[in-house]
Amino acid sequence: MRSVRARAALGATLVVAVALTVAGLAVLLVLRGNLTDRAGLEAEVAAREVAGQLALGSVYTELELGDEEIHPVQVTDEAGRVVAVSKDLEAVSGTGTSEVEPVPSAPVPSPGDDDDDDDDVSTPARGEVSSDQPDFANGTATVDGETADYRFASVELTTDKDVTLTVHAGAPLAAEQEAVDTVRNSMLTGLPLMLLVVAGVTWLVTRRALRPVEGIRRELAAITASEDLGRRVPEPDSRDEIARLARTTNETLTVLEASVGRQRRFVADASHELRSPIASLRTQLEVGAAHPELLDVPGAVADTVRLQGLATDLLLLARLDAGERPGRTEVDLGSLVREAVSQRGADRIPPEVSVADAGSLEVTGSRGQLARVVGNLLDNAERHAEHAVAVSVRADRGDVLVEVTDDGAGVPEAERDRIFERFVRLDDARSRDDGGAGLGLAIARDVATRHNGTLAVGTASGGGARFTLRLPAAEEG
């Protein structure tokens, strides 16, 4: 079953079916119990009436047994022998004995029958009816050819002759059975109708609730078919989960559109940047092939080096975009900066290095990538400086700061975020050979971000640019 509406309707119907079934069984059990208790109370009253007569000394043959068709009565003695039964009682079960014929027995004498000549006029003796809770049992009785179910109550008594008798009186269960059957039949008739209503209502409500989802699906299918990431799915006016899903989908499409746009610009810019050194190198080689004496070997080598550096930068950006995680090596940034400066050789403006001695300067990450960041920042500073470049490394509140400053023109505040974009060069008058491809700062910020750090640009005290690399210090083991 692939439809959400069908699964929701089926699930709701099953839950309601189980709930109604359990509730119906509980109602039937309670109803049956109440009606059975009522019949038992009625049987107890009938049994105590007969027991009261016997306790007063009534003989068996003179007992008033009431409506014998409604309350069949059976009286037994201590030995379980039947001493009295109601009229027309033909069969009985549930009273301890199925006998319905009284055995020959002397009648219970009435008060005062023993001593007619006794002049004592004291109060005659009386028997006693047990006050204990009677025993109850379900059984059947056949009265005048009609067999029915009864609830029997058994009451014990002691006569004035110290004879223990038990009176079994029954109350019919026909009303209880009829009521239970009526309720059960009503439930069996109404339950399917109720389940149909629940299934229909659930289907309609779910269909209405999922209608916006279908709109979102259709629009996403259209976006996939057209590859137009500028389209957006419809957002419902409600504030429920579906509306939040639509908003999240549109936000995802916005990010995806921006990412695809950046990728396309990156490919276009990379192709443009690669075209120049390749064209220059090809021209020099073709000239050299035709006129070996005119071959500009240093120029060809320079173009090759530039092409190699650009390819390296593009490869590193591709790895970063693919989510490559930096290593977990502990790197001393002070030593790394000194090493990077010492390997630069005859720079146009040799950097001035200042490394603080206090605090730990170790961070966790990739030594090669961090060296690339420092090298790119030094290249950028040297490219823009007039006379001086300074590098400082120090600890700061659980972080390690590397600051690279120059005394150049600085970076305009409006361009401070843009310079970290790929293939961006603010100085349009600068030649490609001197200005680079515009990837150094983009690589530096990407590497810093993947090391859980930041790279920001500000204004140096001398008016130039200050680039601040902040990285979390390595945890002390």
Tens of pLDDT, residues 74-124 = 999 888 888 888 888 889 998 888 888 888 654 444 444 444 444 443 444
Q: In this prediction, what percent of the chain has a pLDDT beyond 90?
A: 20
User: Residue 458 has what DSSP assignment?
Assistant: E
Q: Does some domain include residue 60?
A: yes
Residues 348 and 444 in one domain: yes
Q: Does some domain include residue 227?
A: no
Closest CA to 474 of 365, 369, 368: 365
Partner residues linked to 148 by β-bridges: 141
Q: Does some domain include residue 196?
A: no
Closest CA to 150 of 175, 179, 171: 171
Tally of structural domains, the chain: 3
Residues 360 and 463 in one domain: yes
User: On the CB side of 340, how many CA atoms lie within 13 Å of its CA?
Assistant: 27
| Residue 136 banded pLDDT, cuts 50, 70, 90 | very high
Residues 292 and 353 in one domain: no
Q: What is the pLDDT of residue 263?
A: 78
Q: What is the pLDDT of residue 272?
A: 72
Residues 304 and 348 in one domain: no
Residues 334 and 290 in one domain: no
Residues 343 and 284 in one domain: no
Residues 256 and 348 in one domain: no
Residues 98 and 166 in one domain: yes
Residues 78 and 144 in one domain: yes
9 is in which domain, residue-wise?
4-105+126-180
> Who wins on pLDDT, 409 or 346?
409
Q: What is the pLDDT of residue 123?
A: 42
Are 127 and 56 within 8 A, CB to CB?
A: yes
Are 87 and 178 within 8 A, CB to CB?
A: no
Closest CA to 371 of 336, 346, 401, 341: 336
Contacts of residue 236, defined as CB under 8 A and 6 or more positions apart, other chains included, come to: 212, 242, 243, 246
Q: Where are the beta strands (DSSP E) in 32-163?
A: 73-77, 82-85, 89-92, 128-129, 135-143, 146-158
Partner residues linked to 217 by β-bridges: none
Cβ atoms within 10 Å of 14's Cβ, excluding its own: 13
Q: What is the pLDDT of residue 66?
A: 66
- Among 11-20, 64-73, 96-105, 143-152, the minimum mean pLDDT is found in 64-73
CATH code for the domain of 101? 3.30.450
Q: What is the pLDDT of residue 468?
A: 94
* pLDDT exceeds 90 at position 454: yes
Buried residues in 380-413 as b, exposed as e (16+ CB within 10 A): bbbbbbeebbbbbbbbeeebbbbbbbbbbebbee
Q: Does some domain include residue 305?
A: yes
Q: Does some domain include residue 217?
A: no
CA gap 142, 214 in Å, rounded? 70
Q: What is the pLDDT of residue 358?
A: 65
Average pLDDT over residues 227-251: 87
Over the chain, what is the mean pLDDT?
83
Burial class (CB within 10 angstroms; exposed 0-12, middle 13-18, buried 19+) of 457:
buried
Average pLDDT over residues 444-454: 91
Residues 170 and 250 in one domain: no
Q: What is the pLDDT of residue 445?
A: 92
CATH code for the domain of 361? 3.30.565.10
CA gap 114, 65 in Å, rounded? 26
Are 420 and 439 within 8 A, CB to CB?
A: no
| pLDDT tens for each residue of 188-238 | 888 899 889 988 898 888 888 888 888 888 889 998 898 888 888 888 887
| pLDDT tens for each residue of 395-419 | 888 899 999 999 888 888 888 888 8
Closest CA to 179 of 32, 329, 62, 13: 32
Average pLDDT over residues 147-176: 89
pTM > 0.85: yes or no:
no
Residues 255 and 364 in one domain: no
> Who wins on pLDDT, 153 or 320?
153
Rounded alpha-carbon distances, angstroms, from residue 82 to 152, 156, 294: 16, 14, 143
The most confident of 118-127, 272-281, 422-431, by mean pLDDT: 272-281
Residues 33 and 164 in one domain: yes
> Who wins on pLDDT, 439 or 109?
439
Q: What is the pLDDT of residue 431?
A: 43
State which of 309, 336, 366 marks the end of a domain.
309
Q: Does some domain include residue 447?
A: yes
User: How many angstroms from the chain centroid is the CA of residue 100?
Assistant: 69
Q: Is 397 helix (H, G, I), strand (E, B) or coil?
A: coil
**Quick one: tokens of 52?**
């009261």
Q: What is the pLDDT of residue 346?
A: 63
State which of 142, 157, 180 marks the end of a domain.
180
| pLDDT tens for each residue of 301-342 | 887 887 887 788 888 877 777 777 777 889 999 999 999 888
Q: Does some domain include residue 390?
A: yes
Are 168 and 82 within 8 A, CB to CB?
A: no
CA 248, 252, 255, 257 torsion-angle sign:
negative
Q: Does some domain include residue 320?
A: no
* pLDDT exceeds 50 at position 38: yes
Average pLDDT over residues 445-468: 90
State which of 180, 195, 221 marks the end of a domain.
180
